[in-house]
Structure 1
Amino acid sequence: METKLILSTFMILMAAAVSNLIAQGFKKIAPTYINLLMGLLVGLLPLTNATVASFNNEIFMTAIIAPLLFFEGQNTRVLIVRRKRRLIIGTAVGLAVAIAAVVGFAVHTLGQVAWPLALIMVAISAPTDATALDSVTGGRLLPAHVGTVLRMEALFNDATGLIILQAGVLWYTSGQLALGKNLMAFLWSAGGGLVFGAGLAFGLMILRQWLLRSRWNFASSQIIIYLMTPIVIYLLAEEWSLSGIIAVVSAGLVYNGEAQRSRFSNPRQFHLSVQLINFGSEILNSFVFVILGILLARIMTGFQVGTGQHWFWLGVLVYTLAWGLRYGYARLIHLNQHEALIFALGGVHGTVTLALALSVGVLTTSDNQLVLLVETVVIILSMLVPTLVLPRLLPAALTAKQLSPKLATMRQAMVAAGLAQLEQLTLTPAVKASVTYDLRDQLRQNRLRSFLQQWRQQSWEPVQFNGDEALQERRALMQAFDAERQYLYNLALEHRFEPKVIYDLYSEILLAESLVLDPANQPE
């Protein structure tokens, strides 16, 4: 089992890596769609599909979804949650319950589906996916208010869907719908998860901050404690019948304030944490959509004709009615017609929905396959429809292709400023050649032949600078970087270019300079 799990992880990671590389050649297509298609390919090919183990809901939620939601929570300010708490409750709880009741009734009445199964079907499609939302906007800009509401909904409505699903499962197995019991379960799960996650995160934050300010601080240990936090909180919360999802989100909210006020206590450690978070988020997001593709492929290839032919129309019914209710709710909270349409389309479903469908183990074989097929239709429609419609409703953001010419021009002028500064210095030929190569490497235009020549000299014929030349090299690089920063500063004062482009280049210079200055970055 352990070997199979390792092989599965390796296969999915490789699929994510390859699909992300391919996505660089198709800038008009969101990378998540490339991840999804790669997952479909892995799931459809017998050789690769056999390498991937069967889906394990507990591992998926613990090792992937919990850290992702924790990072999402950390990127959200607590002040925003406090200000919009009523809206969050209305959207994540009220809207989800309304959709469960109305759409469940329609599925029962029009689709001739038993009430408990209809409730299970609709509850599974309640959680929305903030990550999937980013993939369907087509690089367009969401209205700030609508984007905030959609993200808050995606962070907090998973618990509502889980409780409604538990109610449907209990109804399915016992034949009784205990509303009072389910209401108390919801309050315990959501409220308890919120308090537990925030409380435990606060305690761990105090511990880490004390360590940071003591002689016991050790960066790698701190990072391990931090990265394990969402997994530990999720497992403990679930063990006590609390919402692990709400717990990790609230933990992330606590850590948002910590990150803002302790970043300069140990800048190297903080920078490492930020890079690990960004790297982890990118990998996990790609991982999720590759898994989604594999699961969709397996569901569709495992379809049996005897299951029934109305599953497609049930999926269309669930998605369409939920869309209508979302639009009506948006109008109710005073969004204008344009914003309401965007909000309705923004209810995108992803892997969490499919994970919930796969987690229900009490259904008969035919009911289980019906639920899986319906949820597959809902997921595909919730991603496909906004992908086609939202780009027509949203203003275009500056794309990498549009920024590329400006960025290239600025980078050329920036390096030229550094090289001009280099000409004013008195350097030995060897030092000047070395620094010139390093500065030109910022343009990423040094040919492979040139790199291999430098690599050979460094590896086999190392040019050992004496003490004076080593000092010359460092000072030359410092003065060249200073000239490059001054060029960018003057450019920013002219207000002719987007600040983000200038800040990105400025940050690159600072990082390059840290490689020159920081002893920890110096090779042996």
Structure 2
Amino acid sequence: MSILLSIALLIGAVVTANIIQPFFKRIPEAIILITIGLLFSLFPIFYNYKINPEFFMFLIIAPIMFQEGQSHPYNMIRKNSKTIIQLSVFLSLFTVVLVALVSSNFQTRWPLALTVALAAIVVPTDTVAVSSMTQGLAMPKKLNQSLELESLFNDATGLVLLDLALTFFTKGSLSPIEGVGYFLFVALGGLAIGAVLSYLLVALRLYLNFHVSSPQATTIPLNLLTPFVIYIAAEHLGTSGILAVVAAGMVHNWEKSKLQLISTESQIVTATIWKTITTLLNGIVFVILGLALPRIFNMMVSFGWVLSTTLATLALAIYLAMFLGRFLWVTMRRDDHTTDFFGRHHSSDRQKRARIFGLAGVHGAVTLSLAMSLPTKIHGHAFPFLNQIQVVATLVILISILVASVALPLVLEKETAEFSEADLVTTRTLMIDSAILKIDQQDFDSNLKKALSQTLQTQKITGGHRLDRNDFSNDFLPLVSTIVDELNAYLESDQIQERYSETTIAIYSKIIQRGLTNPATKRHPFMNLNRQLRHRAREIRFHFKTKTFTRKQRERYQESYLSQHPEQRKQISSFRDNRQAVWALNKEVQTYADHLLATHLADEMIHHADTKNVDRIRHLLDRFFDLVAHDYQRVDVSVPSALYIQAFGFEYNFVSNQLVQKKINSALANQLYHEINQAQTLQLMDITTE
């Protein structure tokens, strides 16, 4: 139960961070998550919280790295293989040497093997933390890609170097040939196992897609289990589980690129699930870091002031050494294939990118996991300097996050959007209203038009529009007045005068006068809530007074009343006849109003870009005709999928025309195309084709 509660609290912490993030936009999300984790450490269940490294690597790091592998196309990995090796291997080794040299010059009395172990722990970088700090900043795209490629593979480098350092510390010696052989076995073995097992699992999923009755129920869970199965298999065989899941992710990316139009629904659902899971897990990593801080602080208190100051200074020196190493590595590179990532050699752009690359060397999840995975005992004796190494590693993580969160906004310029939010909202509204007007012009049932229009309205950010007093602005009332005049003229036309009595037409004309004229007044039926409440109160008093609560009681009371007042029977019969005639006339007026809205009024509003009133007019008319027909219950209308496809086609055409006419740019058009695709996919997944 405590495990389930811990997981629920960790998820709750991430949700809390997402809720409060909009109120602290200048604070990176990673720092907010760490702070919330620190606050959650006050809960009794998290007292003296200690990370279980096996749990951490298996349940958190493995799926994160699998998704990272899926997000990088295989062709891009192959094209930049030399850069990846340089970043994840040679730069990592260069950093380890620098950190080991810095650590050995401090009065820590650590053996050389442990200084190398610490260096291996702090080598892995975390691009997730960097991305949370560069939101809204103009990070060079290629430079950001180099950070992602580095982070994708240097985790395994750190793991292997840590194993080598611990082996050397345990045995007291380690030959270079043995070390290189072990490195190649762990790294290449992990990649091979991940690729082979992933290929077999992909083949199994393809087979299931064509040979089982419900493939989604099988293939999606199988995909979700893939990183865990492959990680366990690779670790069991003594290779790198991290590199194995990265390789598996790349194979799955290759599968997706080759099978783009096969089992599309499964691919959409799987991608959505993985995006949600990894976002949640990335947040949990920093929450766990916050939970671990009180234990680290208690360790420093137990060390005393002198040793704690020494360790903090060492952590700062290690960070500066890593920053300098990354800066020099980028500055001194002369390879042509690194020019795209870091700019031309000796240029000002190269110097700027070198500084950014150094600052972006943020450490996080894997560094924390490696530090906490150190064994507590070796040969039956306590692991020496264990707490000191864990404290230094945690301080390096915090320093890298704090420095990057302050320095990156100073080095990077603010991102300039290719379109403003106001432009997006305005164009989206025009697009949706244009599609609705096109739908209104089609020749099919008005209930279908109404249901389809309501669905399209949900594409807007604020959802369906609700009438309130602020809607009845100066530019809206003249449109209402125009509609009233047109409807009254229709009532006076020959076709209506010949088919309906003067009494019926007079009644309906009065309904229009009260229901649509000056809708902002208190007499408007949609606005007069107090009047409706008083009417309901009178009904309740009447039922209690006459004791007519059931249908049979009301029928008996009505028959008794009519027997005592026979003159009322004729009036009631006349009223019923008029009511039926008014309902029939209401349907005809509604059809005419639909035609009216879809012709010259709609064209005029679109021509003047006055579509903000289209939704208001449509809503007002729908409510009016429903109230006249006493349609207080919602009619369930099944909209055929063909109508949705037609409506989304109208939206596509609108965006395309706006782009051709250069009223919007390509970035804004792509955003709207993406939104239409999402809406279309979601809607069509919920529709049962007849």
TM-score normalized by the length of structure 1: 0.88
Pair 1:203 & 2:218 matched: no
Q: Counterpart of 1:373?
A: 391
- 1:360 partner amino acid: L
Deviation track 1:56-102 (CA, whole Å, cap 9, x = no partner) reads 11111111111111111111122222222222222211222222223
Q: Counterpart of 2:58?
A: 62
Shift of 1:280: 1.8
Q: Pick one of 120, 131, 150 that aligns with 1:123.
A: 120
Pair 1:106 & 2:102 matched: yes
Select between 172-181 and 57-66 the one with higher mean Cα deviation: 172-181
Asked if structure 2 preserves the Cα contact closer than 8 Å seen for 1:20 and 1:34, the reply is: no
- 2:2 partner amino acid: K
Please give the secondary structure, in 2, of the residue aligned with 1:349: coil
Please give the secondary structure, in 2, of the residue aligned with 1:326: helix
Q: Pick one of 312, 326, 338 that aligns with 2:352.
A: 338
Structure 1 gap ranges (5+): none
Pair 1:412 & 2:579 matched: no
Shift of 1:368: 2.0
Deviation track 1:166-198 (CA, whole Å, cap 9, x = no partner) reads 232234344435444332221110011111111
> Matches of residues 345-356 of structure 1 in structure 2 within 5 Å?
345-356=359-370
Q: Kindly tell me: are residues 339 and 442 of structure 1, through their superposed partners in 2, closer, same or farther at Cα, counting changes over 3 Å?
A: same
Deviation track 1:305-343 (CA, whole Å, cap 9, x = no partner) reads 435231100101111111111111112323421222122
> Matches of residues 3-402 of structure 1 in structure 2 within 5 Å?
3-43=1-41, 45-47=42-44, 49-50=46-47, 54-114=50-110, 115-214=112-211, 218-306=215-303, 308-309=307-308, 310-334=310-334, 335=342, 336-362=350-376, 364=382, 367-398=385-416
Q: How far apart, in 2, do the equivalents of 1:515 and 1:124 lie? A: 44
Deviation track 1:443-488 (CA, whole Å, cap 9, x = no partner) reads 24357988xxx9xx9xxx86345xxx645x7666554433222211
Structure 2 gap ranges (5+): 335-341, 343-349, 468-618, 620-625, 627-631
Shift of 1:142: 2.8
- 1:31 partner amino acid: E
- 1:328 partner amino acid: L
Shift of 1:18: 1.6
Asked if structure 2 preserves the Cα contact closer than 8 Å seen for 1:189 and 1:241, the reply is: yes
Q: How far apart, in 1, do the equivalents of 2:376 and 2:680 lie? A: 60
Shift of 1:224: 1.2
Q: What fraction of aligned residue pairs are identical, expressed as a percent?
A: 30
Asked if structure 2 preserves the Cα contact closer than 8 Å seen for 1:169 and 1:362, the reply is: no
Asked if structure 2 preserves the Cα contact closer than 8 Å seen for 1:233 and 1:248, the reply is: yes
Please give the secondary structure, in 2, of the residue aligned with 1:76: coil
Q: Kindly tell me: are residues 313 and 499 of structure 1, through their superposed partners in 2, closer, same or farther at Cα, counting changes over 3 Å?
A: same
- 1:155 partner amino acid: L
Q: How far apart, in 2, do the equivalents of 1:489 and 1:418 lie? A: 13
Q: How far apart, in 2, do the equivalents of 1:333 and 1:360 lie? A: 35
Q: How far apart, in 1, do the equivalents of 2:194 and 2:677 lie? A: 37
Q: Kindly tell me: are residues 476 and 236 of structure 1, through their superposed partners in 2, closer, same or farther at Cα, counting changes over 3 Å?
A: closer
Q: Kindly tell me: are residues 477 and 320 of structure 1, through their superposed partners in 2, closer, same or farther at Cα, counting changes over 3 Å?
A: same
Q: How far apart, in 1, do the equivalents of 2:181 and 2:642 lie? A: 68
Asked if structure 1 preserves the Cα contact closer than 8 Å seen for 2:641 and 2:687, the reply is: no
Q: Kindly tell me: are residues 55 and 395 of structure 1, through their superposed partners in 2, closer, same or farther at Cα, counting changes over 3 Å?
A: same
- 1:42 partner amino acid: F
Shift of 1:379: 0.7
- 1:440 partner amino acid: Q
Q: Kindly tell me: are residues 442 and 371 of structure 1, through their superposed partners in 2, closer, same or farther at Cα, counting changes over 3 Å?
A: same
Bigger relative CO (Cα 8 Å, ≥ 6 apart): 1
Q: Kindly tell me: are residues 505 and 183 of structure 1, through their superposed partners in 2, closer, same or farther at Cα, counting changes over 3 Å?
A: same
Please give the secondary structure, in 1, of the residue aligned with 2:89: helix
Q: How far apart, in 2, do the equivalents of 1:496 and 1:353 lie? A: 49
Q: Kindly tell me: are residues 515 and 462 of structure 1, through their superposed partners in 2, closer, same or farther at Cα, counting changes over 3 Å?
A: farther
Aligned residues: 506
Shift of 1:126: 0.9
Q: How far apart, in 1, do the equivalents of 2:661 and 2:298 lie? A: 59
Shift of 1:238: 0.6
Q: Kindly tell me: are residues 291 and 418 of structure 1, through their superposed partners in 2, closer, same or farther at Cα, counting changes over 3 Å?
A: same
- 2:332 partner amino acid: L
Asked if structure 2 preserves the Cα contact closer than 8 Å seen for 1:5 and 1:53, the reply is: no
Deviation track 1:32-79 (CA, whole Å, cap 9, x = no partner) reads 332222112112x234624x9642111111111111111111111222
Q: How far apart, in 2, do the equivalents of 1:516 and 1:159 lie? A: 43
Please give the secondary structure, in 2, of the residue aligned with 1:265: coil
TM-score normalized by the length of structure 2: 0.68
Select between 361-370 and 66-75 the one with higher mean Cα deviation: 361-370
Q: Counterpart of 1:439?
A: 456
Shift of 1:272: 1.2
Asked if structure 2 preserves the Cα contact closer than 8 Å seen for 1:357 and 1:372, the reply is: yes
Please give the secondary structure, in 1, of the residue aligned with 2:23: coil
Q: How far apart, in 2, do the equivalents of 1:225 and 1:328 lie? A: 45
Pair 1:502 & 2:658 matched: no
- What RMSD in Å do the two structures reach over aligned CA positions? 2.9
